[in-house]
Amino acid sequence: MGSVDMKGIGRWFAFPLCLLVPVAGCSYDYPDPRTTPIVQDERPAITDPSLTTESATEPADPQVHQREVRNYQDLDTLLNAVPGPVMLLREGPLDGPARGFGGKEQVPAAGQYTVTAACVGAASATIFIRQEHPTVTLWPVELTVNCPGSASQVITLQQGYVSVHLSLPSPGDTPWTGAVGGVRMTG
C-alpha cells in the first residue's frame, strides 16, 4: 500500500497559516475624527481681564500684593498717556511665579502705529514686537524701558497680526516684588 507523505501535507497547511497569524493578532478601532465629539474644557472661562494679569498665587507678604496693586494703577497711568484708539493692550507681572505677558492682535489696516511700553517697580523691562506677513516680516523691534517710566516708538505695520511679549532675562521663578509692566499699541 502507498504511504502518505505527512511532511508535504504539513508544509502545505503551515504556509497559509503563517500568512494568517500576523493578520489575526490584534485589531484596533480608531474613531473617525470627523464624527468624534470634542470634549470641552470644564473650567470656568475667565472673563475679567484683570484676573489674567495677576500672578497665580498670593504673595507671602500682603504688602507685596498691595504694592503690586499700586504698581498696576501707576502702569495704567503711564500707558494711557499716549492718545489714540487702542489696538493692543497687555499687562503683567515682571517677577514672581507667574511673571510675563504676551499676545497677538489683528492689525486692521497697514499704517503707522505707536507702541508704548511701561514698567513700575523694577529696574527696567524689555518688550519685543514682531509681525509676520506673507510679503514682509517685521524683524523684532526691541523696546527697553527704565522703570518707573515709559518709552514709545512709531512702527509701520501691515494688515495681519502683530505679536508682543515681555523678554524674561533669566529662567525660573524670581522673588515677587510686585513689579509690573505692559505694552499698548495705538493707531
User: What is the pLDDT at residue 72?
Assistant: 96
Query: Can you tell me the distance from the alpha carbon of 29 to that of 21, in angstroms, rounded to the nearest whole number?
Result: 19
CA 8, 14, 16, 19 dihedral sign is negative
At residue 33, φ and ψ (nearest 5 deg) are -65, -20
Q: Any idea which residue has 497559516 for its cell?
A: 17
Question: Which residue spans within the chain are E strands per DSSP?
Answer: 86-93, 102-107, 111-120, 124-132, 137-146, 149-157, 160-166, 180-186
Bridge-based pairing of strands 102-107 and 111-120 is unpaired
pLDDT tens figures, 97-114: 788 889 999 999 999 999
Q: Which fold has domain 49-186?
A: Jelly Rolls (2.60.120)
Task: Give the start-to-end residue ranges of the domains of the chain.
Answer: 49-186
pLDDT tens figures, 123-161: 999 999 998 776 766 678 899 999 999 999 999 988 888
Bridge-based pairing of strands 86-93 and 124-132 is unpaired
pLDDT tens figures, 47-63: 444 334 444 455 567 88
pTM for this predicted structure: 0.65
Closest CA to 93 of 177, 27, 169, 32: 177
